[in-house]
């Protein structure tokens, strides 16, 4: 089966703050290999070939205060992904609290080549629906993405990185976004894991424009977390979060997923077809 892994982290590792680096590289014995992949997209493509992965979404987001990523991540990522536009889907990002003209910057990032945008509430320190209160400019980001037909992946669930605010990972905040931007395609990354799976399931079923993105969930636990996954198989998108803590390889997750008692049609849709449609 073809695989589109919509959530991996090959990114400018050198920009990460020292304490973030410590957490990221902890328990990883292949740091040099991963850094080499980030330096040369051809090496990542060869790695994808070896793992049997046709396409990947390259997650990327601006978070100068928590992670160390400034808006330069956008140029870095678009340049990197330009090596193979049919296989490497670069994410773009705009941080509304660090940007004067959010509408203009969102348009610029999309024009630069972003195939999707990432919003990361626990690492960017605002709620996904903060445009209703203290961050009205966040609405500009959603509006521009909606007009351009560019999907937005929103992190839901906790985060272990120093400085991350896990309480901001509640998927119920995305209920507002789905209502206020009805044509915006939204992916709920990590399905609210490990605290809010029921809320994530509700939001995906409730809104036509919201999809479940299952990266970061160990495939062996997937049906424990989402016992009614088959009901939303047509709206579920594959991702691994590789090489984040605990994820050994893109391939291993696919192999474990293929062992699950789900119909082949559902597996095919989740691993590839749904993502291709959304992106």
Q: If residue 154 lies in a helix (H) or strand (E), which one and from where to where?
A: strand 152-155
d(CA 264, CA 25): 36
d(CA 200, CA 48): 29
The residue sitting closest to Zn ion, measured at its beta carbon, is 241
213 near Zn ion, rule: CB under 5 A: no
Would the CA dihedral through 260, 264, 267, 271 be positive or negative? positive
- Stretch of 173-181, 197-205, 237-245, 262-270 lying at the interface with Zn ion (CB under 5 A): 237-245
- Stretch of 41-49, 60-68, 206-214, 236-244 lying at the interface with Zn ion (CB under 5 A): 236-244
Residue placing its CB nearer to Zn ion in the complex, 96 or 122:
122
DSSP letter, residue 83 = T
Phi and psi for 217 in degrees, rounded to 5?
A: -95, 120
CA torsion, points 168, 170, 175, 180, in degrees to nearest 10?
10
Smallest gap from Cβ 241 to Zn ion, in A, equals 4
Contact 135, 126 (CB under 8 A): yes
Smallest gap from Cβ 85 to Zn ion, in A, equals 22
Residue placing its CB nearer to Zn ion in the complex, 91 or 126:
91
| Ranges within 239-258 binding Zn ion (CB under 5 A) | 241
Q: Among 118, 98, 95, which residue's Cα sits nearest to residue 9?
A: 118
DSSP letter, residue 215 = T
Q: Which two tokens stand for residue 82?
A: 């330009």
Size of the site for Zn ion (CB under 5 A): 1
Residue placing its CB nearer to Zn ion in the complex, 175 or 241:
241
Residue placing its CB nearer to Zn ion in the complex, 74 or 139:
74
Q: Among 247, 210, 252, 215, which residue's Cα sits nearest to residue 232?
A: 210
* The total number of residues written for the chain in this structure: 279
Smallest gap from Cβ 7 to Zn ion, in A, equals 6
Residue placing its CB nearer to Zn ion in the complex, 240 or 274:
240
Smallest gap from Cβ 189 to Zn ion, in A, equals 6
- Stretch of 174-182, 227-235, 238-246, 253-261 lying at the interface with Zn ion (CB under 5 A): 238-246
- Stretch of 32-40, 140-148, 234-242, 247-255 lying at the interface with Zn ion (CB under 5 A): 234-242
Judged by the rule CB under 5 A, the positions of this chain that interact with Zn ion are 241
């Amino acid at each position: 089966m073809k695989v589109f892994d919509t959530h991996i982290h090959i990114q400018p590792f050198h920009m990460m703050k020292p304490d973030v680096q410590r957490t990221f590289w902890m328990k990883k014995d292949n740091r040099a290999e991963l850094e080499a992949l980030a330096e040369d997209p051809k090496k990542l493509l060869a790695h994808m070939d070896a793992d049997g992965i046709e396409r990947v979404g390259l997650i990327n987001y601006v978070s100068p205060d928590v992670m160390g990523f400034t808006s330069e991540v956008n140029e870095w990522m678009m340049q990197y992904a330009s090596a193979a536009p049919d296989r490497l889907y670069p994410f773009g990002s705009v941080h509304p609290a660090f940007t004067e003209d959010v509408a203009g910057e969102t348009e610029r990032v999309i024009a630069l080549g972003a195939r999707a945008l990432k919003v990361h509430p626990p690492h960017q320190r605002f709620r996904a629906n903060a445009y209703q209160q203290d961050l009205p400019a966040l609405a500009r980001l959603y509006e521009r993405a909606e007009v351009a037909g560019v999907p937005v992946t929103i992190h839901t669930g906790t985060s272990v990185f120093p400085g991350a605010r896990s309480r901001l990972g509640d998927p119920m905040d995305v209920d507002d976004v789905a209502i206020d931007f009805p044509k915006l395609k939204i992916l709920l990354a990590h399905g609210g894991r490990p605290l809010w799976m029921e809320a994530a399931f509700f939001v995906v079923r409730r809104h036509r424009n919201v999809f479940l993105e299952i990266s970061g969930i160990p495939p062996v636990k997937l049906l424990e977390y989402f016992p009614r996954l088959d009901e939303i198989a047509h709206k579920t998108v594959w991702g691994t979060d590789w090489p984040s803590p605990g994820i050994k390889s893109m391939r291993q997750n696919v192999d474990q997923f293929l062992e699950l008692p789900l119909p082949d049609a559902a597996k095919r849709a989740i691993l590839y077809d749904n993502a291709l449609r959304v992106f």
